[in-house]
């Protein structure tokens, strides 16, 4: 019995991985910009948003993975099968716009990191980020899914170390952290940043992607013990991956709250780097920049992977990855070339992402609640209620954001 349990545990650990690839979307440069801006402007006020967003993301990611394992199709493909051609094209357009907004965050973030580390111009740094992301995608194409997962998980470890290193030097006061767990806002800008944090955490392309990642890794398991094992492993995979992502996101906000709230440095990624350099030293600041660079490179490749899966699922078309990468790079490179404030562009890109979340989450909850489609693996009524509540909260927050922005403007 003990040997059988040990073998089962070893097999379970080997099956982990897809959620860690999806989790890269939750620690991308958009998260850095949103969390740094929130910590710099409001201190610990929006820490509760980071925690809630990661909890919501864990539920959504598990539902996406479950849909893929049970149906044998990705979320985009499952949605596409239930739409006529005109509806599929319209749905694909909004998903593609969300993918481009994602690329803005990832490429601009990587460019900022390269400028900080090597003094390169932003536009050149953006091009380098795009090229390296293509090389990472080539690993997945030529070496297979498992090697790609290991590379991305390694980059996730670099990201975690880079953003958490400052806590070995300066820790936040416990009472302030506890105060940040009380849900509240402070004006329009705090709502804007809350929407940005939410959009940077519950990312639409990651919701679409996870259903395909488990298929690429595990295939379509038969109903019975094989599927039950994979669903259990997937739950563990999601819990571990989101715990890492949540800790990293909280660390970003706390680092900014500690080092930027009363600092004269601007509420930007560059300002965070300068403040960390001034208060914690060059080594910690470089680790922060290296974490940002790893975040941009890894998330850019994962985002391109998701975009290709979305197109294949909805339009049943495959575009060469180089061509697709060049197209999705254009908005990010244009922003860099025109000289827009890169941190502000990152935050606004996350707000755009938050508007795309209901288009991914609402169909996901409906599909995973469908007993004709999911059989005995359909959502429990409580899970369904939680899923609808998540979609409702996100939608209401977006409507409040629009109203406050218009009223304030």
Average model confidence (pLDDT) across the chain: 84
8 A C-beta contact, residue 54 and residue 246: yes
Least confident range of 200-204, 250-254, 310-314: 200-204
215 pLDDT exceeds 80?
yes
Report the 10 Å Cβ neighbour count for 185: 17
Q: CA 242, CA 160: separation in Å to the nearest integer?
A: 12
8 A C-beta contact, residue 253 and residue 46: yes
User: How does residue 402 score in pLDDT terms, banded at 50, 70 and 90?
Assistant: low
301 pLDDT exceeds 50?
yes
b (16+ CB within 10 A) / e for 342-365: bbebbbbbbbbbbbbbbbbbbbbb
Q: For the chain, what's the residue count?
A: 409
268 pLDDT exceeds 90?
no
**DSSP code string of 65-85:** HHHHHHHSS-HHHHHHHTS-H
Prediction pTM value: 0.86
Residue with the bigger pLDDT between 345 and 365: it is 365
> Which three-class secondary structure state does DSSP give residue 17?
coil
pLDDT at 208: 92
Q: Give tens-digit pLDDT for 84-133.
A: 888 899 999 888 888 788 888 888 889 999 999 999 999 999 999 988 88
Residue with the bigger pLDDT between 281 and 407: it is 281
User: How does residue 7 score in pLDDT terms, banded at 50, 70 and 90?
Assistant: very low
Q: Which two tokens stand for residue 184?
A: 């509240």
Q: Give the distance between the most distant pair of CA atoms in the chain.
A: 67
pLDDT at 163: 85
8 A C-beta contact, residue 405 and residue 188: yes
- Most confident range (mean pLDDT) of 237-251, 252-266, 296-310 is 237-251
Instruction: Strands of 53-145 (E only): list them.
Output: none
Residue with the bigger pLDDT between 13 and 212: it is 212
Q: Which domains does the chain have, with CATH numbers?
A: 12-407 (1.20.1740.10)
Q: Give tens-digit pLDDT for 42-85.
A: 999 999 999 998 998 899 999 999 999 999 999 999 999 988 88
Residue with the bigger pLDDT between 114 and 279: it is 114
313 pLDDT exceeds 80?
yes
8 A C-beta contact, residue 267 and residue 36: yes
Residue with the bigger pLDDT between 221 and 323: it is 221
Q: How many helices (H) and strands (E) are present in the chain, helices listed first?
A: 18, 0
Q: CA 407, CA 88: separation in Å to the nearest integer?
A: 35
């Amino acid at each position: 019995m003990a040997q059988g349990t040990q073998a089962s545990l070893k097999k379970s650990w080997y099956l982990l991985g897809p959620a860690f690839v999806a989790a890269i979307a939750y620690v991308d440069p958009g998260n850095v910009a949103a969390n740094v801006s929130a910590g710099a402007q409001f201190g610990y006020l929006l820490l509760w948003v980071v925690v809630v967003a990661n909890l919501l993301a864990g539920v959504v990611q598990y539902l996406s993975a479950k849909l893929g394992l049970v149906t044998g199709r990705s979320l985009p493909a499952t949605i596409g099968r239930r739409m006529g051609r005109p509806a599929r094209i319209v749905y694909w357009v909004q998903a593609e716009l969300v993918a481009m907004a994602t690329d803005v965050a990832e490429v601009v973030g990587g460019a900022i990191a390269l400028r900080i580390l090597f003094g390169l111009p932003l536009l050149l740094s953006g091009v380098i980020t795009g090229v390296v992301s293509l090389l990472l995608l080539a690993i997945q194409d030529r070496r297979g899914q498992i090697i790609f997962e290991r590379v991305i998980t390694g980059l996730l470890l670099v990201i975690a170390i880079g953003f958490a290193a400052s806590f070995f030097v300066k820790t936040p006061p416990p009472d302030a952290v506890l105060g940040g767990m009380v849900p509240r806002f402070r004006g329009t800008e705090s709502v804007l940043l809350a929407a940005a944090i939410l959009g940077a955490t519950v990312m639409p392309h990651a919701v679409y992607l996870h259903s395909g990642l488990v298929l690429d890794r595990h295939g379509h398991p038969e109903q019975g013990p094989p599927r039950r094992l994979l669903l259990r492993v997937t739950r563990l995979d999601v819990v571990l991956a989101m715990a890492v992502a949540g800790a990293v996101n909280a660390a970003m906000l706390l680092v900014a709250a500690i080092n930027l709230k009363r600092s004269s440095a601007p509420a930007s990624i560059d300002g965070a780097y300068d403040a960390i350099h001034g208060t914690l030293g060059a080594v910690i600041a470089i680790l922060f920049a290296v974490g940002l660079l790893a975040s941009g490179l890894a998330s850019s490749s994962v985002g391109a992977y998701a975009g290709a899966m979305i197109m294949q699922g909805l339009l049943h078309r495959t575009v060469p990855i180089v061509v697709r990468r060049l197209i999705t790079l254009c908005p990010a490179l244009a922003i860099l070339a025109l000289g827009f404030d890169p941190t502000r562009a990152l935050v606004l890109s996350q707000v755009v992402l938050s508007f795309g979340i209901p288009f991914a989450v609402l169909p996901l909850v409906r599909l995973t609640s469908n007993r004709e489609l999911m059989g005995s693996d359909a959502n429990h009524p409580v899970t369904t209620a939680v899923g609808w509540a998540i979609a409702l909260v996100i939608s209401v927050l977006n409507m409040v954001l629009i109203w406050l922005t218009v009223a304030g403007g």
